[in-house]
Amino acid sequence: MIDPLDDNLQSRLPLFHQKWWLDVVATDAWHYLVERKNAMTMIWPIYILRRFFLNLCKMPPLTMFLGPVFFPKDCDQDIQVEALRSKLLRAGIARIRPYLRKRIHVAPGFNDLVVFKQAGYRIDKRITHRIDGDLSFPEGVLPGVGKTRRIRINKSGEKCTVSSSEDASDLMDLVVASWHRRSQKPPHSLDLLMRLANAAVQKGQGELIYSHSLSEHELLAGGFFAWDSDNYYYIAGGYSPVDHQSIGSTSVIWRGIEDALNGSRNFDFEGSMVPGIAKFFRSFGSEPVEYFALSKNSF
């Protein structure tokens, strides 16, 4: 039996499936569901939100996806792999059946939707935006960058300094300022975001990137990025009111893209279904990538 807490296996799991991440975003309300048949094991982190007398299988905050993953993929024939995955999924779905309401986001590339559809789940498409980690930086990225964004990238080199940091406190102020300008509150707890950023930095899987103006050395923008072996995620960001043309925020994201591609990782904006935000992400040369939200109510 594969131990999901084994350090070697943890390093092979997606970022959002790793224990340190779940311990922050889900505290003690999560567990690994493990199923094994023949040569394949399924590991599926489950987050249970308790409301009154109800147990709800939900998505934790600040977590893009949390569906099943499979180890190892060492069967001889594709049809055998598909059959084993289906059996494991049906066993896992049966185990979460008692929860009255279920919502699960599965990772891009998850191809076993038919099993969930047969079990009565609703399937909704979501979009993230990615830059391929096989591209060179900046030569491979620039052809896809929008004209206006390219101008701002060039200006950022003249007007900004960009640096990495382990201090998340400035980012919290920027996040609050950004949402305040929209007359809205941040969608997630700042305390949770702070703890997650600190845990990521301590684990060696996260960094804070800040941009300051060259002239006044004013803080312009900041971002929190975290990664696993394959992907580098833009988790949260914010910018100052003095960053009028988004030169600072452009420089922060551009540095993140550089760090991702230099580490041969895909850069993932974590997507958005909001047209204006999606347009902003695409301006950096990213491409839309599908993933899916699965939901079912059992009343």
- For 33, 59, 163, 257, the CA distances from 72, given in Å and listed in that order, are 16, 25, 39, 30
Upstream peptide bond of 45 is cis (omega within 30 degrees of 0): no
Same-domain pairing of 282 and 168 = yes
Confidence bin at 274 (pLDDT 50/70/90): confident
140 with 278, same domain: the answer is yes
Q: How far is CA 162 from CA 46, 202, 213, 214, in A?
A: 38, 21, 9, 10
Confidence band for 273, pLDDT divided at 50, 70 and 90: low
Cα(99)–Cα(105) distance, rounded to whole angstroms?
A: 16
Regarding predicted confidence, which is higher, 72 or 163?
163
pLDDT tens column, 229-266: 999 999 999 999 988 789 999 999 999 999 999 999 99
What pLDDT is recorded for position 2?
79
- Quick check: 288 pLDDT over 60? yes
The whole-number average pLDDT for the span 19-36 is 96
What is the predicted pLDDT for the residue at 73?
Answer: 57
Residue 35, C-beta contacts closer than 8 angstroms, at least 6 positions apart: 41, 42, 44, 88, 91, 92
**What pLDDT, in 10s, does the model give residues 154-166?**
999 899 999 999 9
Number of domains in the chain: 2
What's the pLDDT score for residue 130? Answer: 97
One domain for residues 193 and 49: no
Tokens describing residue 47 = 């987050």
Q: How far apart are CA 21 and CA 16, in angstroms?
A: 6
Structure tokens at 37: 């048949």
Both 110 and 208 in one domain: the answer is no
Say whether both 102 and 135 belong to one domain.
no
In terms of residue numbers, what domain contains 14?
7-120
What is d(CA 251, CA 12) in angstroms, rounded to the nearest whole number?
A: 30
Q: Are residues 165 and 79 in the same domain?
A: no
Per the domain annotation, does 296 fall within a domain? no
- How much is the pLDDT for 281? 93
* pLDDT (0 to 100) of residue 148: 95
